[in-house]
Amino acid sequence: MTDPAKTLCPYCGVGCGLEVLPPAQLNKPTHRDAAGTPLWQTRGDRAHPSSQGMVCVKGATVAESLDRDRLKYPMWRESLAAPFERVSWDVALDAIVERIQTVGETLGPDGLCVYGSGQFQTEDYYVAQKLVKGCLGTNNFDANSRLCMSSAVAGYIHSFGSDGPPCCYADLEATDCAFLIGTNTAECHPIVFNRLRKYHKRHDHVKLIVVDPRRTDTAKAADLHLAIRPGTDITLLNGIGHLLLRWGALDPEFIDGCTQGFAAYTEVLRHYEPERVAERCGITLADLETAARTWAKSKAVLSLWSMGLNQSSEGTAKVRTLINLHLMTGNVGRAGAGPFSLTGQPNAMGGREAGGLSHILPGYRLVKTADHRHQVEQFWGLPAGQISPTPGLAVGDMMLALEQHRVGLLWIAATNPAVSLPDLNRTKAALAQSPFTIYQDAYYPTETADFAHLLLPAAQWGEKTGTMTNSERVVTLCPAFRAPPGEARADWEIFAEVGRRLGFAHQFNFVTSAEVHREFAQLTQGQPCDMTGISHDRLAALGPIQWPCPDPETPATAATRHDKRLYTQGIFNTADGRARFAALHEKGLAEPPNDQYPFVLTTGRLYGHWHTQTRTGRIEKIQKMHPQPFLEINPRDAQQLQVQGGEWVEVRSPRGHVRLPLLVTQNIRRGTLFVPMHWGSLWADDAECNALTHPVVCPISGQPELKACAVQVIPLAKVDLAPATAIEALPEVTESSILSAVPSS
């Protein structure tokens, strides 16, 4: 028997270590698919520090999707109406090069838009940045992380002076209070949740508080569940702050020595009288006080959050308001304490490090900061001024640019926007406007392939070697353990080859991804995410390494410690070293419920499925687990509408509709509905939750409010009698001016 390959699970940002076994080694019927074909197998890697041998159902079954419906060859068509025909890589690459040149001459560099993904490896991200932002001179590279954690990035930058989650998973087993807000950790970060839950169960004094309008599996395990009205997080957090201030439950030494802006913050807190807060949030005063008292009493508070905060038109403000509580109580930079953003995708963190959003550059640098641009230009051997000083388009703005015919080439890779972007009917219309779309994916069909002129087959997980960084800043090497199917190629190789064909032979003379990584790591030198001590070789020899790791000579014992925290000295990455309080009031939902659309619809995930199902929809076990989409509704709302569980309804927003069977459950608060995000047009008819969502974004992070829009519900039997959906004026969508520099005050 050969040794299993050690790698990382390619799904969520927990970043569990996996061991992979080839089909030939296993001869059990359970390891064959329905057709009898032997399957690759995965199991937890006990040596991985983040997951310690644990995996959830997704990691355990991922290998089953490796050979299902793969895109194997470049495919080309003249127009969206024509069928695809197979072409050679040469023809495909020549067509891309010619197109990029034409667009450059006609529309200028900003006529090119590239939309990537937190499912890239860091090497893919890095080569793409060098090509797009460096050689081609446009910052129009954005990623699906814009929909995912850009508010967390903006919150960290504004409060701490730079991005970077300061905590590590060891904090899960060192905290006195885990404050989970806007995260269904049990279903979406299951192994983080397992670690936390075990510790919570064993230690009576440890408290678990969950803030979520739904009684999720996460909430069910909590000591206190605050089922707040959607969008009222800032009021809740300021309400807790108000009580902490009233009780004097502060850390004056930390506030005085390490922060700025406390006075203005307390001025805001004055307005958050507990009675008013409880009423606004739709919770009891007693529960609000219990939450605040737990913060006050706990020596170490660890807050975990994800999309319930980030996916909001005030996402950055929500994140900063949460960080305020940590600053006022000195809960940062210590064991068991800190504001911990859980990243969604397996390498959203690597994307941040490599500069994979339209306003950032590799090594936690910002497009707007002249020094940062010059450092990168110099390092890349490009003339001064080559990197544009203007942040590029965020993905929502790319859609607007398509509508306005300002895009000559759209290049989409490792994401499925024809399911995952908001306001999907309008989005699809915009995608259909693109004069030339390249779609680089591992699977076919997917919904976005319908909008492509050129399909490029991507090697995926296990077919290319690269690195990924998980939520706790641990970098794991993910080696290729099998050959890509057909002619599929690694994303970084495709970007590099296009670069060479455009004449940048010197910039893209990489032969292996280890070389790409070496170059990238050098560019992080002296930056908060310093990884100069990390290389493919060291990762292969030592196993996963947590950053910062600035020294290639770091002895193995130190390099393999995984409990490094940031800001342990109370010195932050702002000019004066002080963290910033934010003095912010709640603004509320961009589209509050109204007479015509009386419900708030929220959207999210289920335990077994991954996003748009390109893999999990092709795995029997998971299909059986979640066979169909549904609408969650509270029993009293169902009663009022005179509908029963299992009955079909039409849900309408001002932008579109879906048709779903009802799941009547106490687990959702009155007035709120929930639809899982996993069913695009390939997997069900009329079930795309993004047909309903609106495109309004947080003005600072550019992240859309995917967690709330106003809808009405009509029993299907009565649909023909109901008035037609009025297409109301959308909340105005203008180009977002995303975060570009740290505020000076």
What is the C-alpha to C-alpha distance for residues 322 and 306, in angstroms, rounded to an integer?
12
CA 498 distance to own-chain centroid? 27
CB 233 within 8 A of CB 587: no
**Residue 48 interacts with ligand MGD (CB under 6 A): yes or no:** no
Region near ligand SF4 per CB under 6 A, out of 49-57, 92-100, 277-285, 396-404: 49-57
Region near ligand MGD per CB under 6 A, out of 42-50, 245-253, 502-510, 609-617: 609-617
Task: Say which entry of Mo ion, ligand MGD, ligand SF4, none residue 55 contacts (CB below 5 to 8 A, set by partner kind).
Answer: ligand SF4
Q: Which is nearer to ligand MGD, 140 or 216 (CB)?
A: 216
Residues numbered 329-368 forming contacts with ligand MGD, rule: CB under 6 A = 344-345
- The Cα-based distances of 355 to 17, 143, 348, 440, 659 in angstroms read 25, 10, 11, 20, 40
Give the shortest CB-116-to-Mo ion separation in angstroms: 13
Task: Say which entry of ligand MGD, ligand SF4, Mo ion, none residue 533 contacts (CB below 5 to 8 A, set by partner kind).
Answer: none
Angle 589-584-301 (CA atoms, 0-180°, nearest 5)? 95
What is the C-alpha to C-alpha distance for residues 389 and 407, in angstroms, rounded to an integer?
19
Closest CA to 630 of 667, 588, 597, 598: 667
Give the shortest CB-574-to-ligand MGD separation in angstroms: 27
Residues numbered 160-199 forming contacts with ligand SF4, rule: CB under 6 A = 190-191
Residue 462: half-sphere exposure toward Cβ, Cα within 13 Å: 24
Residues numbered 293-322 forming contacts with ligand MGD, rule: CB under 6 A = 306-308, 311
Rg (C-alpha) for the chain, rounded Å, is 25
- Residue count, binding to ligand MGD (CB under 6 A): 57
Q: Which backbone phi and psi does 503 adopt, to 5 degrees?
A: 105, 5
What is the C-alpha to C-alpha distance for residues 221 and 217, in angstroms, rounded to an integer?
7
**Residue 446 interacts with ligand MGD (CB under 6 A): yes or no:** yes
What is the C-alpha to C-alpha distance for residues 254 and 188, in angstroms, rounded to an integer?
34
Structure tokens at 375: 């450092």
- The Cα-based distances of 510 to 126, 134, 725 in angstroms read 12, 16, 55
Task: Say which entry of Mo ion, ligand SF4, ligand MGD, none residue 612 contacts (CB below 5 to 8 A, set by partner kind).
Answer: ligand MGD
Q: Please pick, from the candidates 148, 157, 523, 549, the single residue that binds Mo ion as defined by CB under 5 A.
A: 148
Task: Say which entry of ligand MGD, ligand SF4, Mo ion, none residue 59 contacts (CB below 5 to 8 A, set by partner kind).
Answer: ligand SF4
Q: Is the peptide bond preceding residue 457 cis, with omega within 30 degrees of 0?
A: no
Give the shortest CB-670-to-ligand MGD separation in angstroms: 14
Q: Please pick, from the candidates 104, 308, 330, 344, the single residue that binds Mo ion as defined by CB under 5 A.
A: 344
What is the C-alpha to C-alpha distance for residues 128 and 169, in angstroms, rounded to an integer?
30
What is the C-alpha to C-alpha distance for residues 564 and 549, in angstroms, rounded to an integer?
10
Task: Say which entry of Mo ion, ligand MGD, ligand SF4, none residue 151 contacts (CB below 5 to 8 A, set by partner kind).
Answer: none
First to last CA, the chain: 61
Q: Please pick, from the candidates 15, 392, 484, 548, the single residue that binds ligand SF4 as defined by CB under 6 A.
A: 15
Buried b or exposed e, range 24-51, using 16+ CB within 10 angstroms: eeeeeeebeeeeeebbbbbebbeebbbb
Task: Say which entry of Mo ion, ligand MGD, ligand SF4, none residue 614 contacts (CB below 5 to 8 A, set by partner kind).
Answer: ligand MGD
Q: Which is nearer to Mo ion, 148 or 323 (CB)?
A: 148
**Residue 59 interacts with ligand SF4 (CB under 6 A): yes or no:** yes
Region near ligand SF4 per CB under 6 A, out of 51-59, 123-131, 428-436, 601-609: 51-59
Closest CA to 68 of 43, 113, 33: 33
- Which residues contact residue 108 at a Cβ distance below 8 angstroms, ignoring those fewer than 6 apart? none
CB 469 within 8 A of CB 344: no
Residues numbered 108-137 forming contacts with ligand MGD, rule: CB under 6 A = 117, 119
Task: State the binding string over 174-193 for ligand MGD (x if CB under 6 A, else -).
Answer: -------xxxx--xx-----
Region near ligand SF4 per CB under 6 A, out of 8-16, 216-224, 333-341, 632-640: 8-16
Give the shortest CB-180-to-ligand MGD separation in angstroms: 9
Residues in contact with ligand SF4 by CB under 6 A are 9, 11-12, 14-16, 51, 55-56, 58-59, 190-191
Residues in contact with Mo ion by CB under 5 A are 148, 344
Residues in contact with ligand MGD by CB under 6 A are 12, 117, 119, 144, 147-148, 181-184, 187-188, 211-214, 216, 230-231, 233, 306-308, 311, 344-345, 413-417, 419-420, 440-443, 446, 458, 460, 491, 602-605, 607, 609-612, 614, 677, 689-690, 693, 706-707
